[in-house]
Amino acid sequence: MGTLGLDMDRGLFLGIDFGTTNSVVSIFDFRTGEAQTLQIDGSAIFPTAVQFEPDPEDEEKLSRVFGVQAKESAIIYPQSTVLSVKRLLGTDESIKVVVGEKEHLFTPVQIAGEILGYLKQKADEHAQEELGLAGEFSGCVLTVPANSTDKQKKMTKDAAVLAGFDEDSVYLRLEPAAAAISYAINETSDKKILVYDFGGGTFDACILKVDAAGGEPSISILSTYGDNNLGGNDADKIVMDMIYEEFKNLTNNEIDLFDETVDDGVSKRQKKMALARLAQAATQAKERLSQAKSAKVVLAPLIQEPKFVNINMEITRESFSEHKRRNALGDPQELYEKFRDKNLDDMVGDTLRCVDSSLAACGLTEADIDEVFLVGGSSALPLVSERIKEKFGREPFKSKISPALSISQGAAVYCEMIMMPTVKGPVVREKTIHPLGVELAGRRFLEIVGSGQDIPSSGLTVESSELLTTNFDNVTSMAIVVYENTSPGRGKNLSVSQAGMKRLAGASLRGIPQGPRGKEKVKVVFNVGQDNMLKVTAKSMSVDGAVTELSVDELYE
């Protein structure tokens, strides 16, 4: 390792695109001087899935199956398989897994940690067996959607630590910025680019400025706008809806696969298996339609009781694009209403409205964009390229790297700069995404950190524009409650109870000297580090003032 010029104290770093549907892992190969995507279990695209089963040696324990095998197991064992866990990061939901007759509860962080741990294990084996490197990957550059909330980022980092990475060596980077590295590393001219990131669970539109005149490209994030509930999974649901409509026609609408309480002659287990097969067939058909003009769907049989029901249908690109979703398909009501009566063309239109918001945020128009860089597996849908060409008057950039691999390879270039600090590489100047602030009396929101502020290499530190004051006589403590405004642009005089306000943390500043109401003043300081994590400090301004820090480790408890 010494001959490679590695920073021995930092160790080996891994670039990970942890996706809703699939994950990709890349390393920087010092032999070739390029980022290299690893084959995990024989494929560069690793399904973000885990299936639990009884441990053959200890029935009180569980063993795990990951990736392709787990995704395929979902057809037979849907109750013991977890898919799309990324969409639950940032929530407090519990994940119920049923193995045999026993129920097991996991948090999203635990499940994500299990999957990341497996990816780390496979990467460690590759480094030792194929590259001849000693040791294991102690750190990682882990990408997150540009529109991530602070809570989502915190839980993602927690999952990486649970997977076995050193806490101080986990770096979070925005997915569009990592993808832009893949584009900009060989760029020789200054350009403004749009990163159109249509992943499995989220959509992000990010405007970047690439300055390449100085030799090493510098990338500045001008603006970003996204939707954390708009992704390829939702496109899959349109295909699934088409198949389910055919099923309803064949059964005269007498069987509801999504209702386990109704007595329609189909067992709960058979319904779960049928739904898992429906979902898998829909995903495969959508992927096929990215390459071909039609896809055949055969599920023979889909169910066997109370009668055999066979699905045999052909879906064309045109029918896929025009079909309007009619069924909830197990989605929560709020999410279903968002996509009800929408087709694929409507969904792509929603992504372009995010693009418009991102352009408006940095004062640019379509004519100012030099290149459109497609990222994410669903960007491969022909309709996406067609609508991009209509809007910008040019074809999207034709990259040698697959849209599905560009994020992790960009993350791997970050890894090179961490492992070899003397080597120059692309510099990404990141910005804050959502406004951050605290709650004032009357449930008012005081914004302290605005969206779109540059984050220096040393981190961004911002003090509150006004001091907090005590609301009652002789109090000795004050509640400090931090909020994130995930729906900015609604003017001033905001309330923390409005839609889009996310409570991040709460703590008590204790030890305040007693005095009349309003006498004691408290200053709040926000710090956003280059690791994209937040720290908040509240300090009494009196001579004997008290200090409290809401560190990243204490947020969301």
Q: Which CA distances in Å does 136 have to 30, 316, 530?
A: 16, 47, 24
Amino acid at 395: E
Angle made by CA atoms 299, 302, 306, in degrees to the nearest 5: 150
Q: DSSP string covering 303-350, please?
A: E-SSS-EEEEEEEEHHHHHHPPP---TT--HHHHHHHTT--HHHHHHH
> Which positions ≥6 away from 249 have C-beta within 8 Å?
none
Q: Which CA distances in Å does 345 have to 157, 318, 354, 395?
A: 35, 10, 15, 18
Tokens coding 262: 């109704």
Segments making up each domain of the chain, as ranges: 2-187+392-429, 436-550
Q: Where are the beta strands (DSSP E) in 43-129?
A: 46-47, 49-55, 58-66, 81-83, 95-99, 102-106
Note the pTM of the prediction, 2 decimals. Answer: 0.80
Kindly report the CATH number that applies to the domain delimited by 436-550. 2.60.34.10
> Which positions ≥6 away from 41 have C-beta within 8 Å?
66, 67, 68, 69, 122
Tokens coding 447: 């914004």
Indicate the burial class of 166 (C-beta count within 10 angstroms; 0-12, 13-18, 19 or more).
middle
Are the CB atoms for 372 and 394 separated by under 8 Å? yes
Beta bridge partners of 102: 99
What are the helix and strand counts (H, E) for the chain?
11, 27
> Which positions ≥6 away from 557 have C-beta within 8 Å?
none
**DSSP letter assigned to residue 9:** T
Q: Which CA distances in Å does 318 have to 321, 343, 383, 550?
A: 5, 11, 10, 53
pLDDT tens, N- to C-terminus, the chain (557 residues):
333 445 445 678 999 999 998 999 999 887 777 889 999 999 999 999 999 998 888 777 899 999 999 988 887 788 899 999 998 998 889 999 999 888 999 999 999 999 999 999 999 998 888 877 777 899 999 999 877 877 888 899 999 999 999 998 998 988 888 888 877 777 778 889 999 999 888 898 988 888 877 667 788 888 888 888 898 889 999 999 999 999 999 999 999 999 888 889 999 888 988 998 998 899 999 989 988 999 999 999 999 988 899 999 999 999 999 999 999 998 889 899 999 999 999 999 999 999 998 898 888 999 999 999 888 888 889 999 999 999 999 999 877 777 788 899 989 988 887 877 766 666 777 778 788 889 888 888 989 998 878 888 788 999 988 888 888 888 888 888 888 887 766 667 789 888 778 887 777 777 778 888 888 888 888 888 766 678 888 888 876 666 665 543 343 33
Are the CB atoms for 476 and 510 separated by under 8 Å? yes
Tokens coding 104: 């097991």
Number of other CB atoms surrounding residue 72 within 10 Å: 17
**DSSP letter assigned to residue 403:** T
Which of 111, 112, 539, 193 shows the shortest CA–CA distance to 358? 193
Tokens coding 491: 């003017």
Fold assignment, 2-187+392-429: Nucleotidyltransferase; domain 5 (3.30.420)
Which of 238, 181, 251 shows the shortest CA–CA distance to 407? 181
Q: Which CA distances in Å does 330 have to 46, 377, 494?
A: 25, 23, 34
Are the CB atoms for 290 and 219 separated by under 8 Å? no
For residue 120, which phi and psi values (nearest 5 degrees)?
Answer: -65, -45
Which of 254, 477, 266, 288 shows the shortest CA–CA distance to 377? 288
- Tokens 């389910």 belong to residue: 244
